[in-house]
Amino acid sequence: MTKLANFENYHIRKWYTQIDDTLANETGVLADGAPLRKIVIAAAIHNPYAGQYNQSLEQILNNSPDLGQEFGRRINAVLGIDKVESYGKACIVGIGGEYEHGNAFLTPAFVMPIREAIGGGKAWIPSSGKRGVPGTNLDIPLAHKDALYVPSHYDTVTTQFSDAPNADEIVVAFAVATRGRLHARLGGLKASEIEGKNGLN
């Protein structure tokens, strides 16, 4: 079924915002510095290819940069004065669609405007995805935005959407965090030691 576009060529049914603020770790020890804020911005978007195979996915790809700009705007609106240190992306494809349809939303054309909005990012963006139904849990991996080999910033944020995705929808999600794990103590490259030359260290 064709649905009227309400954002470029996309039909977006709903936007979601999740904010987690962690002030102490699991054993109750207060944060070593600022609290850890994790933000998830997501959208339930109609899948124009639900129920069919199509070699071209241009209906998803064509306006990816505009969608990325809107994600970036929404992330910054929630961040306020906070800065992003890590990020990740993910999707849930409704059961009428292919996993490939979700991946078509997570391309570099989509994420580059988000990188720009949050002050850059040299490291590749960790990604996950699955097919599912409303209420499906989604684990979004996180890593430092400028250097992948920073163990303190390997993390996950879990989210779910009680009413999405419908069978003909895809939930597209982008997550950011303002710091690494509380009391990370496993060694390795520290965020303060990042050279930021190649996205690795």
Give the mean model confidence (pLDDT) for residues 50-61.
Answer: 96
Instruction: Determine the Cα–Cα distance for residues 196 and 141; give it in Å rounded to an integer.
Output: 20
The model's pLDDT over 76-126, given as tens digits with 9 standing for 90+, comes to 999 999 999 999 999 999 999 999 999 999 999 999 999 999 999 999 999
Whole-number pLDDT of residue 74: 98
What is the band of 1 on the pLDDT scale with cuts at 50, 70, 90? low
Q: Which homologous superfamily is 12-193 in?
A: BB2672 (3.30.1330.110)
The model's pLDDT over 160-175, given as tens digits with 9 standing for 90+, comes to 999 999 999 999 999 9
Whole-number pLDDT of residue 78: 97
pTM of the predicted model as reported, rounded to 2 decimal places = 0.96
Q: For 80-188, where are the alpha helices, taking DSSP H only? A: 99-103, 108-117
The model's pLDDT over 63-81, given as tens digits with 9 standing for 90+, comes to 999 999 999 999 999 999 9
Instruction: Determine the Cα–Cα distance for residues 173 and 165; give it in Å rounded to an integer.
Output: 12
